[in-house]
Chains A and B, each alone.
Chain A
């Protein structure tokens, strides 16, 4: 029997196993980000929102929704994808993936697909949670869905790379904790960068998260800190860079295959 051109069963097995891992850790995977987001609404939406009613004509509570979803989407995509590949490396079960009739693309689709699917699900749950705290308005739902999917895929790819790179659990948490979280908080999730002094506004334009939050916010309210083209262009660039790096990783076997 000849081998199929695409090992769909193999990809589905990885995808299902990753989703099963989420079910086993439901509290950690879903409830925690939802609870955290709810707390953000209470602290930022209610406490600060009571002093700052509107930003750019949008109620403050509604204004922070895209930023909060993006915050969770970024951290969850990276966390899910990085642990997804790091754990088999750590336990040694990665031998099975490497010796199975799976191409690099199929391995990436399995792990990154599962990580992105989980993040998107969490993003949608947070969106639903937000509806309890503030009236929601989504002007461009198709664009919102596109941003949701692109961001989840882009940062799941990035997380997958971190998972391959990391040799220890400390390294696994290093990039998300020390790079992504600060960039996210400084990326205009809770404010418009137009509110900053000119110097810091310029500095903010070098923060990649600004482009994600801005684009996503545009899909909600039709306005953002930077142009939609810049946001989409940035997202495409992240995906292209990650894919390029993954091609190199699988060609050389970097930290995956000696």
Chain B
């Protein structure tokens, strides 16, 4: 059973439709990255699951329970780190994190709060007021608040937007540790490298639609373009006749030949190299290039935009 099951969820604001009938299952223990440009509906979707936004129609189940009928049970399982830093700036770090735990109905557990603050490098700042903290520290406090009630599911909405490299690496480490402890993580991000680095599966959103959901490595295998690039010892004016019928292109003023590979095309690569040898063309260097998730994303978003009315 998926830990989150989203079925036919739509959200409209007057005549504007922010989400179009989204169906999505999140598996227990996975890291799921929701990608998409601004206004794609990522935040709206996760806000609906968390209870901060009402859906226009559809149903969401968390660990088998309906989020509207059994909201007490479902919300206790969820932690949310919103995109914007939103904190009571006059409260202390310790008090605001403890407040979050109590709000979710959990009994006081100072040992847990201490562990959390130490994990997030906030222990030394526990008595400081939020107003005295740096932006990065505040973001850590937001995470501590979301984890204060020991949720099974953590939503991270643009967790590393505007944070420095060190904090980003720290957060990635934290996310991995949480997953090792069985926490399911759903993150939205603009940073494709973040999804590429951490996610088990990715979902692409565009214009309120879920364009694609796929296991990350399978997606890269399916949609990622691998190219064999051969650098020639002497530039050619035209492709040799031996390569007629092959999907190869002459590039860089005739000094490179590139071949778009598909699954099982390794044999084709070998044949191209052999035929070039037969044609007396000498190869100086060869390289294999692969599409990044970012390139796949750009292609997908472009395709989705083109297919919309």
A contacts, CB < 8 Å to B: 2-4, 7-10, 12-14, 17, 20-21, 24, 88, 91-93, 95-103, 253, 257-258
Contacts and interface: CB of A to CB of B under 8 A. Distances in A.
Interface string B85-118: 0111111000100011011111100000000000
Contact of B102 (A3, A12, A92): A12
A225 to B, nearest CB: 43
A9 B87 contact: no
B102 A2 contact: no
Interface residues of B, number: 32
A99 B145 contact: no
Contacts of B104: 10, 100-101
A37 B88 CA distance: 31
Nearest to B155: A99
A26 to B, nearest CB: 13
Contacts of B76: 3, 101
Contacts of A92: 82, 84, 86
B176 interface: no
B51 interface: yes
B305 interface: no
Given A92-B86, A253-B54, 5 more contacts: A7-B105, A9-B103, A93-B87, A95-B82, A99-B52
Contact of B103 (A2, A20, A91, A96): A96
B9 interface: no
B73 interface: yes
A10 B105 contact: yes
Q: Which applies to chain A's interface (DSSP): helix, strand, loop or mixed?
A: helix
Contact of B13 (A13, A24, A103, A258): A258
21 contacts: A3-B70, A3-B73, A4-B72, A9-B103, A9-B107, A10-B102, A10-B103, A10-B104, A10-B105, A17-B91, A20-B91, A21-B90, A91-B88, A91-B89, A93-B88, A96-B100, A98-B51, A98-B52, A99-B50, A99-B51, A101-B72
A13 B88 contact: no
B99 A9 contact: no
A256 to B, nearest CB: 10
B105 A9 contact: yes
Interface in B40-88: 50-54, 70-73, 75-76, 78, 80, 82, 84, 86-88
Interface string B271-294: 000000000000000000000000
Contacts of B100: 96
Contact of B105 (A21, A24, A96, A101): A101
A7 B73 CA distance: 11
B52 A95 contact: yes
B72 A9 contact: no
Nearest to A87: B88
A257 B105 contact: no
